[in-house]
Structure 1
Amino acid sequence: MTAWQPRATWAPREQPEQHYLVEPRHLAGGGDLRHVSEYLRASGWKDRSKSGGPIVFDSPDKTVRIGYDPFTQPGGWTISGRATASQEAWHATFSRATPVEIVAGLTDALTRPRSAHAPNVWAPLLEQEWQTEHGQHFTARSPQGDAFVRFHQPAAGQAHWWAGARTEHGPMWEAVLTSTAPMRLVEAFSTALADPQPVLRPRGTIPPSRKVRTTSVSVLPAQLSAWQQARLYAARKAAWARNSPAGTRRTSGTARPYAPSRSRTR
């Protein structure tokens, strides 16, 4: 007679979760703040946040502070650079509904070495067929007219960068950068803003608008985690390369998000 043996137990299979690929990205809503904060941590930035309080990160050289405060009005992202021997003090704000992927265009760039090429804020927009307006203020508008970037000059000595997006219900978010903001950062912001790639959002978080196009996708939690870890791995690898004794290696700090297969468009 065969001795009784316990039956093998199987861990429950992961269940796919419904998400949406949202486009245009500038109308996708704020998104997960960790897209910005975890990348900064992985890049070696100092987390100054207090439990239950605003998010605060300082750059390794202590020249830049990035914060997100949901408890004040209007609240949102604040990025400040102090004056140095080669750079004037600068400041940037992004309201709460600014998609984190667009904010990350600027904050990710802060973690990377300066590029040798001369920055051009307008080039990424023109490449995506944004239309320019030459008036008192130089403005570029998205093809659908629901987003803009403007170099605003209300009076002498008061110029600043102003950007934002709106739906048929009114303004959705805005960003303001001082004219002293490094041009490479303004270009990184405009590049992320104009990027035609959709962004991923969970069900129930998409702003209601006829201007928003969504594609339903089923995503396993492990797939989401794999994409997030790939982005953080890229940040850690870039930070290691910058801090290594050789000092000559260069690696990208950007990882493309996981792109699940599309199933249906709404």
Structure 2
Amino acid sequence: MKKKQWPGWGPGEQAEQHYLVQPRALAGGGDVRHVSEFLHASGWQDKSKANGPLLMESPDRTVRVAYDPYVLPGGWTIHGRANGANAEWSALLGRQTPVEIVAGLTDALTCPRSAHAANVWAPLQEQNWHTRFEGQDYMATSPDGTAWMQYHQGVDGSAMWWTGAQDKQGNGWTANFTPNTPMRLVQAFSAELAGPDPVMRPRGRVPRSTQIRTWSVSVKPSQLTAWQQARITAARAATAARNSARSTRPRTTARPYTPAGGARTRR
């Protein structure tokens, strides 16, 4: 286990021990505020009840993100209701799904849609995941074999994404996405699932697993606050930019009808 010390410490602060954990898929759930505070800074409403599960609602009220640790098996439920050409969809993510991976999907909910077609497999292949057909299913597994992403299509034509991670001790999580889940969201999730960077967990919150690697780091509270605030500030800036663009977009008005043969004349 290696030990690192972060630069930029201020006087009078006591460093706290944290750990960088890799692979990120086995790092455990983490702090749900990583997800909720970004959504709130992006204009989402907090509908949570006092001492109850987390519930966030999008500004247009079409999507809800919930986290409930008080029921079994518990975890994340992300639900999009039918809206015009968009069909109803949902994603269910286990309680131990790392918040950094959950945020891949939830952060994408706040972004405008890209003109490019989504490719769920591209981020996985870029990180050397092994992709292959298994019967009617298409499967990708991480190089160390601890995480997977699977596309299953039933005989009736229905399709579903199934993903997760598990170590040799049986610790881990699973998640699934219903057929109508927008592919851009599944791709955003897969990009974070395959991300090579470790994630940070405080002492006492690191899973006991023989398949993770950890590095001890000394971090001051002000640094943690600054990193969290930078993420919130970025969300607020992006939201303000989108709102500004919408408010300054020129309105188009219909031209008055001109009969064929010349301009209209009053009588």
Rounded Cα–Cα distance in structure 2 between residues aligned with 1:74 and 1:184: 27
Change (3 A) 1:247 1:131: farther
Matched residue, 2:137: 137
Give 1:70-219 correspondences, 5 Å limit: 70-135=69-134, 136-219=136-219
Amino acid corresponding to residue 147 of structure 1 in structure 2:
A
Asked whether the 8 Å contact 1:138–1:151 carries over to 2, the reply is yes
Rounded Cα–Cα distance in structure 2 between residues aligned with 1:69 and 1:28: 19
Q: Tell me how far 1:26 sits from its aligned partner.
A: 0.2
Rounded Cα–Cα distance in structure 1 between residues aligned with 2:207 and 2:17: 16
Rounded Cα–Cα distance in structure 2 between residues aligned with 1:100 and 1:157: 32
Rounded Cα–Cα distance in structure 2 between residues aligned with 1:247 and 1:55: 35
Q: Which runs of 4+ in 1 moved over 3 A?
A: none
**Tell me, which stretches of 5 or more residues in structure 1 are unaligned?**
1-10, 249-266
Partner of 2:224: helix, strand, or coil?
Answer: helix
The question of 1:35 aligning with 2:31 is answered no
Matched residue, 1:256: none
Amino acid corresponding to residue 31 of structure 1 in structure 2:
G
Amino acid corresponding to residue 63 of structure 2 in structure 1:
V
Q: Tell me how far 1:12 sits from its aligned partner.
A: 7.7
Rounded Cα–Cα distance in structure 2 between residues aligned with 1:210 and 1:78: 29
Rounded Cα–Cα distance in structure 1 between residues aligned with 2:11 and 2:215: 28
Matched residue, 2:262: none
Q: Tell me how far 1:126 sits from its aligned partner.
A: 0.1
Change (3 A) 1:160 1:43: same
Partner of 2:214: helix, strand, or coil?
Answer: strand
Rounded Cα–Cα distance in structure 2 between residues aligned with 1:26 and 1:145: 11
Ranked by relative contact order (alpha carbons within 8 Å, sequence separation 6 or more), the top structure is: 2
Matched residue, 1:8: none
Q: Which moved more, 1:238-247 or 1:20-29?
A: 238-247
Amino acid corresponding to residue 131 of structure 1 in structure 2:
H
Amino acid corresponding to residue 146 of structure 2 in structure 1:
D
Rounded Cα–Cα distance in structure 2 between residues aligned with 1:205 and 1:112: 31
Sequence identity (%): 60
Rounded Cα–Cα distance in structure 2 between residues aligned with 1:106 and 1:93: 12
Q: Tell me how far 1:154 sits from its aligned partner.
A: 4.1
- Choose the corresponding residue for 1:246, options 245, 248, 251: 248
User: How many residues are treated as equivalent by the alignment?
Assistant: 238
Rounded Cα–Cα distance in structure 1 between residues aligned with 2:95 and 2:22: 18
Matched residue, 1:263: none
Rounded Cα–Cα distance in structure 1 between residues aligned with 2:175 and 2:201: 21
The question of 1:236 aligning with 2:236 is answered yes
Per-residue CA distance 1:79-122 (angstroms, 9 max, x = gap): 00011112111010101000000000000000111112211000
Per-residue CA distance 1:141-161 (angstroms, 9 max, x = gap): 000011000002243243210
Q: Which moved more, 1:178-187 or 1:166-175?
A: 166-175
State the TM-score, normalizing by the size of structure 1: 0.87
Asked whether the 8 Å contact 1:88–1:180 carries over to 2, the reply is yes
Partner of 1:38: helix, strand, or coil?
Answer: helix
Partner of 1:161: helix, strand, or coil?
Answer: strand
**Tell me, which stretches of 5 or more residues in structure 2 are unaligned?**
1-9, 251-267
Rounded Cα–Cα distance in structure 1 between residues aligned with 2:126 and 2:117: 17
Partner of 2:70: helix, strand, or coil?
Answer: coil
The question of 1:57 aligning with 2:56 is answered yes
Asked whether the 8 Å contact 1:241–1:247 carries over to 2, the reply is no
Asked whether the 8 Å contact 1:27–1:165 carries over to 2, the reply is yes
